[in-house]
Amino acid sequence: MFKTLEERPPNMLKNQIAAFSNGDWAQLRYTLTNIFLGENDITELPQIKNGNGNGINYNVPTLADFKSLTWINLDDNKLTSIPDGTLPVTLQTLSASNNMLTQFPMDAIEKMTSLSWVYLNGNYIENIPHTAFEKKTRLDKLDLRDNGIRELSRTMFNGSITIKDLLLDLNFIRTLPPQAFRGLNLRSLHLTNNRLKEINPKALLGLGPYLELLDLENNYLNGIPKALKQLKRLKLFYIPNNNITEINDDDFESFASVLKALSLARNNLEEVPSNALRDCVKLSHLNIGYNRISRINESDFDNWGEKLHTLILRSNRLTELPANVFRKTPQLRELSLSFNKLHYIHKDAFADIENLESLEISFGMHTEEFPRELLKPLRNLVWLSLDNNQIRTITSNSFVPFSRLQYLNLESNRLEKIHSDLFPGSVLHDLRDVRLSYNNIAELDENSFSNLRSLQTLLLNGNKLKKLNGRSFADLSNLMALSLTNNQIRTIAPRAFVNLPNLMRLELQNNELKVLSLHSFLNVTNPDAPMLWNLSYNQIVNLTGGFTGNEMHVKVLDLSHNNIQEIPINCLQNFAKSLKTLNLGYNGVSKLVRNAFGELKFLEVLNLERNNILKIDRRAFDGLDLLQIINLSENHIDQLQTDQFKNLDNLRYLDLTNNHIRSVSREIFQKTRLEFLVLSSNHFVVVPNSALGEIGYTLRYLDMSDNQIEHLDSTMFREIPFLTHLNLSTNRLTILPDNVFIWVGNLLVLDLSHNRLRSNFKELFHNVQKLKRLRLANTGLINVPTLPLPNLTELDLSSNNIETVYVNSVEYLVKLRTLVLSDNKLNHVPSKIWNFMPLLKKLDLSRNPIKIITKDSFYGLHSLQQLDVSSLRSLERFDSDSFAKMKMLSKIKIQTWPQIEKYRFRLGNLLANVPSLKHLIVEIMETHLTDQLLGSFNPKLKNLEISGTNLRSIDVDAFDGIEEVRETSTWDADKYNCVVLGYKPPDPFLPTGITFVRELTLRIRNTSLRTLKPGVLYKLQNIPHFTLDLSRNKFKSLSPHSLCPDDINYQNIRTKLIAGGLTLNDNPWVCDCGLTWLGYWLRRWLRETVQIHTVVLEVAQQMNDLIRSATCTDSSGQQIAIVDLYPEDLSCHASALSRGGSEKVRSSFVVTVIFTAIIRFIL
């Protein structure tokens, strides 16, 4: 797109730009077309200023000066307004999302006559003007999502603008007044995640001839709005996740003839609305999943099903499919029946949809045999997903009818064996992706997958394979990825992998291999796409070579976390022409002999961390001509040879952390190009300046922390003048000469922490005027020294003895962005210094004996975004208006103060003055969390973290106000997947002051919690994207009532309640029957919400590893992944469940017999 570098648009993202500085921009005035200024700290746009004459002073640049500018990105800044005249009239795209705008910039937009796309989402705009533009205006898109809009005026902009695409999602709109959009001529209207309860019948008046897409997802509508009768061209209509129980026969009448896609998902429908759909003859996509439909019949599709291509029925109450049920949908291509409870499917249920290409029945089938006869009519199947069922056996000819099949997913079933004739290559010409992970497969026959000429991906993770026989994987000419992780493989027979010329990824980690020979491979890989081979987390002692036919080409080899004692040089030589990354970390290698790695001419990265290396031969790295990165950290090296790294001309990064090195020779780094050198946690007593001199022109980063260095002088850095990062923390430094840094004037980052320093700091830093980050933590400071560092942006003075901060010590720090004063002896907030730090963004005052905080404590900190006032144990007074002037404050770390009377201090009153708050971290000092957080939440809140070692319980009402409860006239327990069991939910109508959080990560960590009360998270269930982290607590069990106020309904569990996932690590979980529901939930979350079956293979592997890191302890003391808990594996009969498992489970599970029904469904 851009022929030269000069033609690329200026990209100034994430540069902490606070204002437009003076400079000569004139050369770009007539050529610049695009500019990216997002993720900075810009608070205002410069306006045109007159110079001495009548012209414009271009030394104060304004964006309006650029006469060719068409696209500007100002996202994620701190703009409070966009005044008229600040942007050029030539602009076509304006993006100012996630700022602090409170008013719609009508005047500015009106002047930009070429403007087509306007993005203002994530601001604080509360009203859309009802006044008219002076001239008729046209926009292709106006994005006002995630603002504070509560109501729409009658006829927005007074009909003076036309907009093709209007986005009003994630606001607070309760009703649509008459003619709200008249004159806008909208083609698409998005109103998802609002509070719409009422839509005036005339609200859409004027849109009839124009509107083609309407999205009303996640509102409070009880039926299809009558206003839709005004629409004549509506093709795409989405109204999922409302309170609709019934569809009237005439609800779609006005646009039935043109409707193509309809979503009624996540409502309360009990039947297919066939009468309402009778005239929807062009309907091709219908989603009625997540309702209460218990039966479907052939007649449900009469008149309207002829052109239906996609039908989604997942997560309803279907228990059977009758014969010929889809007869009236002959063109059906995609059918989803997942998350139902299909006990009976007639053999002719699919007889009439031979054109079906995609079928999903995950978590829904009751059969133990692969339903071959049932699926036989589906000869055009391309995608078949029957994962997470109870299938145990598959007959040898089961897949013969499906010659067009490309994707097959049978993961998480009960399969035990794969026969050699199960996948006939002569029939399955197009099969590309086979997923058989997490079954009970213990053996693979020879040629089990042979001659599947199109197969690219084969997953067999998490089975019970102990041995791979010869030709287990043979004649797969297009296989690119093969995963066998988390099995019990101990032996791989010769020629197990044969004729796999395109294999690019082979994953064998987390098995029980002790020896591996290349005899197992024949004609595998090719030079154009070398393989990534992961053998980590086995018990490998040795790898041996062997005849491989064509040369093996391996680009990345991971042998970490094994028992390798010697470098397997003979094996590695087979990859000499391709190997670029070799990971041997976490093994038992004790020495590196001469030419230890042979001739690996193309190796670039070598990791040997955490071995037992004592000695390294001076020629150990010979033959590694292109090596760039070496990690030798956490070994036992006490000496390096004089020419240890000789001939490593390309070496750029060397990590020797945590060894026993006392010194290095002058010549050791000769001829290298080291840029990063890490020598921390060794036994150096002096800086090896003579050795560093050999890399003086290339070295940029030097870490010598945690050594025994006592003395520094100016000569030590004379030879490394281009150094930018220097870490000397945790040494024995005391007195530093004034001129010690005279030769390193290019330093940007300096860490002197954890040394008992006595120096003239004003003179000490005189020669490092470019310094941006300085750490002086725990250096024995009593006062803040004068620091003449005008470019400093980060200063850490924590863990000292500072009692006060004087103005003269900080007067030079005008560019400071981060100041850490934690763990000192401040008894008051040093408010007098704030005016000298106009750009300060982050302030940490934690762990000080501060006694009083008032509104004057932070006066002048207008740019502050992050504040830590936690662990102030001596605090006696905290005024509720203390944060009132800090309009940009987005992250606060704080605690509760039970010693301060509630009438004098409430956290909610304090935080109510911070509308920009997005991250709140609170340490609860009390044993019970009750009402301490009430009033602390606002709609922009995204992260809430609760900690406190004293905390033992959380009250059901603790999160009142964080999210409103659905407004329904009667409490509909089943709507939320719950059966009322002695629990009375809160008032379902919105209390005064309640906010509506759109996205939230709740972390409850580092507490003494052992359980969560039933219904404690009920207030959070309507948050569109909710993530829950319960790591590092005392949980042994967790009741489903904690996620839902009543009994969980496994048939409609809806894991999107916690769409972002559930983190459970570092708790003393007990593997018993009371925890099996959680295993089920995690499996379903992976499939339903993450949709792990569709994500990239590498990401899917990471997700599986992450979810399996949460473990419980079984009766034998073994650790088992919670996600792998099944009731049948624990013999969870009704009697066992009635005991509730462990003693702690009994206390948290208030019901007993209910789990009998749960187990019946799972089994």
Residue reference for tokens 């709740």: 1002
Strand partners, 591: 615
Of 583, 500, 474, nearest in space to 538 by CA: 583
Instruction: Quote the pLDDT of residue 290.
Output: 95
The confidence band for 983, taking pLDDT boundaries of 50, 70 and 90, is very low
Closest CA to 1065 of 1013, 1010, 1121, 1141: 1121
Exposure b/e, 453-474, CB count within 10 A at least 16 = b: bbbbbbbbbbbebebbbbbbbb
Longest CA pairwise span in the chain (Å): 93
Query: What pLDDT, in 10s, does the model give residues 1106-1120?
Result: 999 999 999 999 999
Is residue 636 within 8 A of residue 616, CB to CB? The reply is no
Neighbouring C-beta atoms of residue 949, cutoff 10 Å: 11
pLDDT band (50, 70, 90) for residue 10: low
Chain segment 903-915, per-residue pLDDT in tens: 788 899 999 889 9
- Predicted confidence at residue 1159, as pLDDT, reads 31
- Closest of 367, 354, 276, 270 to residue 317, by C-alpha: 270
Please give the Cα distance from 858 to 148 (Å, whole number): 27
Closest CA to 30 of 61, 67, 59, 62: 67
**pLDDT over threshold 80, residue 993:** no
pLDDT (tens digit, 9 = 90+) per residue, 45-104?
Answer: 988 665 444 444 445 568 888 889 999 999 999 999 999 989 999 999 999 999 999 999
At 1047 the three-state DSSP class reads strand
pLDDT(291) > 90: yes
Which token pair is 431?
A: 């099969």
Pick the more confident residue, 985 or 552. 552
Instruction: Provide the pLDDT for residue 1144.
Output: 34
Question: Can you say whether the dihedral through the CA atoms of 804, 808, 811, 813 is positive or negative?
Answer: negative
Q: State the Cα–Cα distance between residues 99 and 80, nearest whole angstrom.
A: 7
Band of residue 943 on the pLDDT scale cut at 50, 70, 90: very high
Q: How far from chain centre, in Å, is Cα 622?
A: 42
Beta pairing partners, 544: 517
Rounded Cα–Cα distance for residues 701 and 722 (Å): 9
The mean per-residue pLDDT over the stretch 509-533 comes to 97
Mean pLDDT score, 994-1012: 88
**Distance between CA 603 and CA 421 in Å, rounded?**
42
633 half-sphere exposure, CB direction, 13 A CA radius: 14
How far is residue 1092 from each of residues 312, 463, 539, 1107, measured CA to CA in Å?
A: 18, 18, 29, 12
- Cα(60)–Cα(193) distance, rounded to whole angstroms? 43
The band of 969, judged by pLDDT with boundaries at 50, 70 and 90, is: very low
Stretch among 208-212, 420-424, 1006-1010 having the lowest mean pLDDT: 420-424
- Identify the residue with better confidence: 269 or 1019: 269
Cβ-Cβ contacts under 8 Å for 95 (sequence gap 6 or more): 38, 71, 72, 73, 74, 75, 117, 119
Per-residue pLDDT reduced to its tens digit, 724-737? 999 999 999 999 99
How far apart CA 872 and CA 738 sit, in angstroms, is 36
Query: What is the chain's mean pLDDT, rounded?
Result: 90
Q: Please give the residue that has the higher pLDDT: either 17 or 34.
A: 34
The pLDDT, as a whole number, for residue 734 is 95
Span 959-969, average pLDDT: 62
Torsion 57-58-62-66 (CA) sign: positive
pLDDT of residue 37: 92
Of residues 962 and 606, more confidently modeled: 606
**Cβ atoms within 10 Å of 678's Cβ, excluding its own:** 21
Most confident of 840-844, 997-1001, 1051-1055: 840-844
Rounded mean pLDDT of 847-870?
96
In this structure, of 72-86, 391-405, 660-674, 1125-1139, the range with the lowest mean pLDDT score is: 1125-1139
* pLDDT at position 1019: 78
The tally of CA atoms less than 13 A away on the side-chain side of residue 579 is: 27
Which of 784, 851, 848 minimizes the C-alpha distance to 822?
Answer: 848
Arithmetic mean of pLDDT, 974-998:
41
Q: Exposure string (b/e) for 1077-1112, b if CB count within 10 Å is 16 or more?
A: bbbbbbbbbbbbbbebbeeebeebbeebeebbebbb
pLDDT value, residue 156: 87
Instruction: Answer for the pair 332, 356: CB distance below 8 angstroms, yes or no.
Output: yes
Closest C-alpha among 20, 11, 12, 13 to residue 43: 20
Distances, alpha carbon 811 to alpha carbons 209, 242, 283, 1023, in Å: 65, 58, 70, 46
As a whole number of angstroms, the distance between CA 397 and CA 372 comes to: 9
Check whether 637 has a pLDDT greater than 90: yes
SS3 399: coil
Calculate the CA 976 to chain-centre distance.
26
Candidates 14, 78, 73, 84; CA nearest to 48 is 84
Look at 622 and 59; give whichever has higher pLDDT.
622
Band of residue 1133 on the pLDDT scale cut at 50, 70, 90: low
Characterise 943 by phi-psi region: left (phi > 0), alpha (psi -120 to 50), beta (else): beta
pLDDT (average), residues 979-986: 32
Q: What is the pLDDT of residue 979?
A: 30
Report the share of the chain in percent with pLDDT over 90: 80
Q: What is the pLDDT of residues 492-520, one digit of tens each?
A: 999 999 999 999 999 999 999 999 999 99
- What is residue 65's predicted lDDT score, i.e. its pLDDT? 86
